[in-house]
Structure 1
């Protein structure tokens, strides 16, 4: 499809609006989705499966067995991308796996360094995630299974937002941030070299905080928010916002996983320049101050904002980089009454969750890796500098998808109930 059209057909699907209408002649495509059990891979497969004539075969690659039943056109393949490229190539060849398009979402989140934030193990993040992609790409080459186009998901850490304030808004043309190792840059270079060598096209996306509902709760903003509300209500406590007024009013761009999948499919099937990169956002500015009352209303419980707090109510943490990613000014600071990681580590909270899980027959009777799950939420709830991505390049491709991020979160709460990760309260 050409991006030079002057008119585009769009449609709505539930809360998702402005979605592209593809021509009926676009049929018989095949895809590989890595990280198929994760938040992005799950919704990518869901989006592709909405059009079984367009996507007639989908290979879902993951280390673990699928957590849900796939439609007939989806074949799960158990594959560890930390294996050697030759082993991966052998598996691909034996199963005759070859696809028109690859959607790469595989990701490993290393444990943070002692006392550090969720993404503090930067060098280890580079090592392990570069290996995931590199092994898979060489496996494709070894199996003579080079696709037409590879879509690689990066993210808003590309702009260094996890390290402090960045230039606002975040534009795709922004220079790389060199104050700390960033695995996105390494993956981007690796993929570019591979595609140049094998005459394959590629495109990368940069979603912000992802909103979705999957059993693997890490790197997902919605699950810790739901747990927080459910436990606070169980304990008879209000829904307290743990950050300060700056966090309360800070503006974000979020990325609903379903909308992210729709956009990723669009890029795969649209004539964008190989090697280009695009922000992938809901196009729905978000603040905690506007969300929190609706959040509390969903759970029918009282809430408490930061309006009446004083400086004495807060702890403060300064990030290590001065200047921060934007290149000037003091380092980023976070002020909070408590972190959600610290909250989740309280014995009363863990006991409450075990009681809730037993009463409602939930999948998980414990809160899992609290640093990974609740550290991700802390990164959003306790950030006091704007995380706002531009959507100009998205629109220039002819994609007009939009979703209200608050509606998306509330919908994901419902989906978590459906998959027995949380109760309906």
Structure 2
């Protein structure tokens, strides 16, 4: 494989270190011998022999400069931070500002900077707006703004001109993996919904739009995504390119849902559209009782539930998938069976005593 950096001791700055993407990326980098790792998030984290955490308010330009400009050893920025806002238009300003503040702090002070990796998603294709062209390709036209993913990429494209570093844009589907307190964690939504359904003696009903039960979609395993992200950041063929990263298989909920129910020892019942954000709003007391009853880790109900995100994903009554062949043409050949991914994550949640 052609690599742009054969030297030992590359230093990764993982921005958004506590999210499902950043956390799994750090875990993967820890397995590789030639990386130093710095994790950046608002909350920070507990540093280890391999990972140093820095707490930064990336929306604060001065705080970003003070905390980040001294990190002169950084060779790779892996940007996976995200700020939520009530409306789509409001997402642009904070999410662009955070990336700009990171680059403005690191680029002038890190002479060995080689690459900036930007985490995006299918929102680039308008997947969140309604039925979009499938399979989506990296060459597809942008849609009418506002769209912070596009603004972030265009910022990097402009900034990169004349620079020694390159960029890549990584576009996963829905990312599934372990993380607590994350607003976009579908596997956790399903695990919590199934666990509470079981406790109440209910079958597992698909709660989304009727048409969504039969739509064709795909997922991206967080571990697979971590491997692809590092690959794109270190293989010179990937310089200044965007890549769709997917598990490599397609599924419909009408087939996957009974298999998930079976894992939890549940029957299924016909789908019934309901907002999880509404029907699960009063389940905190029940959850706290379950934590005590089953000897679970004492995680707050807020940290283990992402109901709004579940409602969002389960509302897609249209096909939701992209063409992942560009990454394969460029040399990335890893894949993941999506059914096995779900079962592995549920088993991991049980081992960690997050769910019964």
TM-score by length of 2: 0.93
Deviation at 1:366, TM superposition (A): 2.5
Is structure 2 residue 8 aligned with structure 1 residue 31?
no
Deviation at 1:71, TM superposition (A): 4.7
Equivalent-residue separation in structure 2 for 1:104 and 1:209 (angstroms): 17
2:26 corresponds to which residue?
45
Larger radius of gyration: 1
Equivalent-residue separation in structure 1 for 2:252 and 2:124 (angstroms): 22
- Is the 1:272–1:397 contact (alpha carbons within 8 Å) kept by the matching residues of 2? yes
Cα distance change of structure 1 residues 26 and 293 upon mapping to structure 2, 3 Å threshold: farther
Deviation at 1:416, TM superposition (A): 2.2
- Is the 1:89–1:143 contact (alpha carbons within 8 Å) kept by the matching residues of 2? no
Look up the SS of the partner of 1:161 in the other structure: coil
Equivalent-residue separation in structure 2 for 1:219 and 1:421 (angstroms): 17
Task: Give the alignment partner of residue 344 of structure 1, picking from 264, 274, 280.
Answer: 280
1:249 corresponds to which residue?
214
1:403 corresponds to which residue?
336
What count of residue pairs does the alignment treat as equivalent?
Answer: 355
1:83 corresponds to which residue?
60
- Is the 2:180–2:304 contact (alpha carbons within 8 Å) kept by the matching residues of 1? no
1:139 corresponds to which residue?
105
Deviation at 1:143, TM superposition (A): 2.8
Is structure 2 residue 330 aligned with structure 1 residue 364?
no
Cα distance change of structure 1 residues 163 and 93 upon mapping to structure 2, 3 Å threshold: closer
Cα distance change of structure 1 residues 367 and 232 upon mapping to structure 2, 3 Å threshold: farther
Look up the SS of the partner of 2:243 in the other structure: strand
Equivalent-residue separation in structure 1 for 2:52 and 2:302 (angstroms): 31
State the 4+ residue runs in structure 1 displaced beyond 6 angstroms. none
Equivalent-residue separation in structure 1 for 2:142 and 2:288 (angstroms): 44
**5+ residue gaps in structure 1?**
3-21, 113-120, 307-335
Equivalent-residue separation in structure 1 for 2:204 and 2:7 (angstroms): 48
2:287 corresponds to which residue?
353
TM-score by length of 1: 0.78
Task: Give the alignment partner of residue 264 of structure 1, picking from 224, 229, 234.
Answer: 229
**5+ residue gaps in structure 2?**
none
Is structure 2 residue 318 aligned with structure 1 residue 417?
no
- Is the 1:242–1:338 contact (alpha carbons within 8 Å) kept by the matching residues of 2? yes
Task: Give the alignment partner of residue 185 of structure 2, picking from 194, 198, 220.
Answer: 220
Look up the SS of the partner of 1:106 in the other structure: coil
2:310 corresponds to which residue?
377
Deviation at 1:256, TM superposition (A): 0.7
1:100-133 Cα deviation digits (max 9, x unpaired): 21111111112x3xxxxxxxx1121111101110
Matched ranges for 1:55-204 at <5 A:
55=35, 57-66=36-45, 71-84=48-61, 86-94=62-70, 96-110=71-85, 112=86, 121-145=87-111, 147-178=113-144, 180-196=145-161, 198-204=163-169
Equivalent-residue separation in structure 2 for 1:217 and 1:420 (angstroms): 17
